[in-house]
Amino acid sequence: ENVDPQKTAFLLRKAWTLYSVTPLYRFHRARLRDYARLLSAFIAAEKQKGLAVEVGVELDIKVTVSSLADLRGSEQDAAAVLVQLSLRSQASSRNSEDKLVWSGWFCSVYGDDLSKNVPEDFTCLPLFLTHGAESYTSMVGSWFQKTFDCCFRRLAISPLNLSWMAAMWAGCKLDRAACAVELVFSVPRLSHPLDISYAIHPEDAKALWDTIQKTPGEITQEEVDVFMECLYAHFHRHFKIHLSATKLVKVSTAVASAHCDGIVKILQSQYLPGVLMLLTELAISQIQ
Amino acid sequence: HLATSLPLPSERDHFRPRIDLIVFMIDIKSKYSLKNVEASLAHVDATFFLGKVCFLVTGVGRVNACSIDTSAVCRLGEAYCSPVLFCELELEGVRVATAQRLLRILQICAGRIPEVSALSFVSLMRSSDDD
């Protein structure tokens, strides 16, 4: 559980698009370099076919596939796998570095519910997070699907799950002065789309949660419901609008932010395992 | 007859025909609809809960838009001894099938089906849920 903050710094403050992935068949950790080479060849071939990312520009993509040993929940979890695509620098000077254009990583944090039921040949890494152009995501995804017989699906986050995140993250203890807890609601059935943004002072939100949560470290659905009800009631008192009739689409806190389309940004390294554990759980329930 | 909440306005009481069945509709995308139903239940006479009430949860096709914990709705059904039906109104086939089910339940509640009372029917539905 002790994740080296330096190794995981690259994960923070980036908007990651979430996918659920079914178990990978015959994925061998010793062959990561081979996989990088095969994926690189696959991408080059796709470009030849005319599926190039940018028209008219010669792109030489370097692929690295590495294992992140620390990024896991328990010993039962497979260690995370990171795939990075970089543009090979054209100039030969020593100062020019390869430019990172796309990253994607597979992980499992306390994904026992899935891994315990799966035969030996399979590696369970149900959560896949990507950052970068969609065209690269689909190329990498296609290669993994062909090579390991797995299936990727965008992971959407329901309003119910977003409200869990709001309660959990608003209640986190943070040393420095934090940013506001912001909830964004989309109002249904209107001719013009309308979004309502509700910002709450982080100390007020934490104080509210602290009065509701009975057992530290444990959260129940009832407690989350009460937390949201209080926020809705407060809003209704002032604006006469029932937020409970709208759709919660985005939650932003100082710990992390999440959007219902399955986009997440993690801001605090100390809460990284907690956030990943929740996302792993969502990925697993989408697979099952 | 459709109403957005209970109690029904008392002005029209003497025009109203006998009520055989109350279907409480809960939209899975709206927490507000659940709160509204919970508040309206308080205005229903206890005798209705002997088979003349059922809960209809709509919008279940869209798992990703779910704002309500479905186990809470099932507990509501258990607490009020009434069946909970799930449907997706946007799918025509399901919509038609659900309407047919409700019509059947209504026929039983109105006493139109000989030898089946509302009470015996609801206890039949409950024992199949437990299985």
Taking CB atoms and an 8 Å cutoff, what residues of chain A touch B65?
158-159, 247
Q: What was the pLDDT predicted at A174?
A: 82
Mean pLDDT of A114-132: 92
Q: By the CB < 8 Å criterion, does B35 face chain A? A: yes
Question: Over the stretch A10-58, which tens digit does the pLDDT of each residue have?
Answer: 899 999 999 999 999 999 999 999 999 999 999 988 887 765 555 545 5
Taking CB atoms and an 8 Å cutoff, what residues of chain B touch A247?
29, 65, 67
Taking CB atoms and an 8 Å cutoff, what residues of chain B touch A242?
32
Count up the domains in chain B and report the number.
1
Domain contains B4: no
Residue A137 has pLDDT above 50, yes or no: yes
Domain contains B55: yes
Instruction: Read off the CATH number of the domain in which B110 is found.
Output: 3.40.50.300
CA dist A97 and B93 (Å) reads: 59
Between A175 and B99, where is the model more confident? Answer: B99
Q: What was the pLDDT predicted at A193?
A: 85
- Measured between CB atoms, which of B35, B63, B69 is closest to A244? B35
Q: What was the pLDDT predicted at A150?
A: 95
Those residues of chain B that have pLDDT short of 50 are 131
Which of B5, B30, B31 is most worth mutating to test chain A (most A CB atoms within 10 A of its CB)? B31
Domain contains B2: no
Domain contains B31: yes
Domain contains B77: yes
pLDDT category, A90, cuts 50, 70, 90? Answer: low
Give A286 to chain B, closest Cα distance, Å: 10
- Measured between CB atoms, which of A156, A221, A245 is closest to B32? A245
Between A2 and A216, where is the model more confident? Answer: A216
Domain contains B7: no
Give chain A's mean pLDDT.
Answer: 89
Mean pLDDT of A176-203: 90
For residue A258, give the 3-state DSSP assignment. Answer: strand
Domain contains B91: yes
Whether B67 sits inside 8 A of A160 (CB atoms) is: yes
Residue A3 has pLDDT above 60, yes or no: no
Whether B67 sits inside 8 A of A188 (CB atoms) is: no
* Phi, psi of A63, rounded to the nearest 5 degrees: -110, 130
Report the half-sphere exposure of A33 (CA within 13 A, side-chain side). 1
Mean pLDDT of A58-70: 84
Among candidate residues A267, A264, A131, A132, the one with its CA nearest the CA of residue A202: A267
The segment with the largest mean pLDDT, out of A5-14, A102-111, B12-21, is A102-111
Please name the residue of chain A whose CA is at the shortest distance from the CA of residue B71.
A221
Verify cis geometry, omega within 30 degrees of 0, for the bond prior to B7.
yes
Question: Over the stretch A260-285, which tens digit does the pLDDT of each residue have?
Answer: 999 999 998 888 999 999 999 999 99
Whether A158 sits inside 8 A of B65 (CB atoms) is: yes
Give A215 to chain B, closest Cα distance, Å: 21
pLDDT category, A95, cuts 50, 70, 90? Answer: low
- Which A residues, 36 through 95, put their C-beta within 8 Å of a C-beta on chain B? none
According to DSSP, residue A274 is labeled H
For residue A58, give the 3-state DSSP assignment. Answer: coil
Q: What are the CB-based long-range contacts (under 8 Å, 24+) for A204-210? A: A205/A170, A205/A171, A205/A181, A205/A253, A206/A170, A206/A171, A206/A172, A206/A173, A208/A170, A209/A167, A209/A170, A209/A171, A210/A171
Domain contains B6: no
SS3 content of chain A, % helix, strand, coil (to 5): 40, 25, 35
Domain range list for chain A: 5-154, 159-260
Q: Does the reported pTM lie above 0.90?
A: no
Question: Over the stretch A224-260, which tens digit does the pLDDT of each residue have?
Answer: 999 999 999 999 999 999 999 999 999 999 999 999 9
Residue A91 has pLDDT above 70, yes or no: no
Domain carrying residue B62: 18-128
Residue A97 has pLDDT above 60, yes or no: yes
Report residue A167 as tokens. 């309660």
CA dist B85 and B89 (Å) reads: 12
pLDDT category, A212, cuts 50, 70, 90? Answer: very high
Please name the residue of chain B whose CA is at the shortest distance from the CA of residue A285.
B63
